[in-house]
Structure 1
Amino acid sequence: MGMRVLFVCLGNICRSPSAEGVVRVKAGLRGVNLDLDSAGTGAYHVGEPPYGPMQSAAIARGYDLSGLRARQVVRADFARFDLIVAMDAANFAHLEGMRPEGGAEVRLFTDYAPGCGTDEVPDPYYTRDFDGTLDLIERCAEGLLDSLSR
């Protein structure tokens, strides 16, 4: 089993499942074995598939998110995963607030894309910019995989 990485946003229907799907494909292309999952800090969409327009934008780029279902992050995730990656500062703060001593490291996804011009992955549920969000997620994914390869 490879490194265990959890991607986290608010509702787990746009950004974090997309990050999971993008990293899964890109890791596979590189031959990198990772155990990936995604979750939300909120319970708004538990059990639901990723948001339709997000799935459409992802599938157009070769990322199939249809098998994913939203879940809420739980304290046990800090023991189950090696790295927890937050999509924005609010979710980062939420995760740090629930992180037990010695639990998984929490990082912002944009930490892996220095010079990208933002410190957050914008939520396309509100911005409606699904392609722009995927552009940033792809960039962060490449940086994350580069980091894990070092």
Structure 2
Amino acid sequence: MTRILIVCLGNICRSPTAEAVLRAKLDAAGIAGQVDSAGTGDWHVGDPPHPPMIRAAAKAGYDLTPLRARQFTPADFDAFDLILAADPANLRDIEAQRPAGHATPVRLLAPYAETGTEEVPDPYYTKDFDGALRLIERACDGVVAQLQ
């Protein structure tokens, strides 16, 4: 079973959406996996995803309502086989917490969509929740293809 963690800044838009999307796509492909999400920041810990993101995901058939934000910790390097970052800044913040000797791969999520972009733009700021969801869906398709 593959254990994948997806990380963004606050864990209320991109990473919880990617968690729900990737979980659904792994299930549809018959791939056993554990998917979780976290944020590099701590200001939303315990909060549900951002309401506009919940609505955009629901329109596409994904339920974000049970999810709650949590903060990324160095222990996540032990708990997961792959860590996917929403953008290069999050990747740097994750790598800064890497314990010595841990080889868990940390990669960017967006390149799995093969669109030429390195980041999933943060809809908390861009307000493009549907666009972020479409990019996340494509990227998750790419992740699943790599696992098959």
Look up the match of 1:135.
134
Look up the match of 1:56.
55
Gaps of 5+ in 1: none
Look up the match of 2:112.
112
Distance apart, 1:103 and its partner CA: 3.9
**Cα distance in 2 for residues equivalent to 1:79 and 1:98:** 12
Q: Deviations over 1:23-71 (max 9, x none)?
A: 1111111111110100000001000000000000000000001000000
Gaps of 5+ in 2: none
Q: Is the 8 A contact 1:79 1:103 kept in 2?
A: no
Q: Deviations over 1:45-99 (max 9, x none)?
A: 0000000000000000000010000000011000010000000000000111111
Q: Is the 8 A contact 1:3 1:82 kept in 2?
A: yes
SS at 1:98 equivalent: coil
Q: Is the 8 A contact 2:54 2:65 kept in 1?
A: yes
**What code does the residue aligned with 1:67 have?**
P
Give 1:55-134 correspondences, 5 Å limit.
55-100=54-99, 101-114=101-114, 116-134=115-133
**Cα distance in 2 for residues equivalent to 1:127 and 1:102:** 35
Distance apart, 1:111 and its partner CA: 2.6
**What code does the residue aligned with 1:123 have?**
D
Distance apart, 1:16 and its partner CA: 0.2
**Cα distance in 2 for residues equivalent to 1:103 and 1:80:** 12
**Cα distance in 1 for residues equivalent to 2:22 and 2:35:** 8
**What code does the residue aligned with 2:113 have?**
A
**Cα distance in 2 for residues equivalent to 1:103 and 1:7:** 17
**Cα distance in 2 for residues equivalent to 1:137 and 1:36:** 14
* Number of residue equivalences: 147
**What code does the residue aligned with 1:118 have?**
T
**What code does the residue aligned with 2:2 have?**
M
SS at 1:11 equivalent: coil
SS at 1:73 equivalent: coil
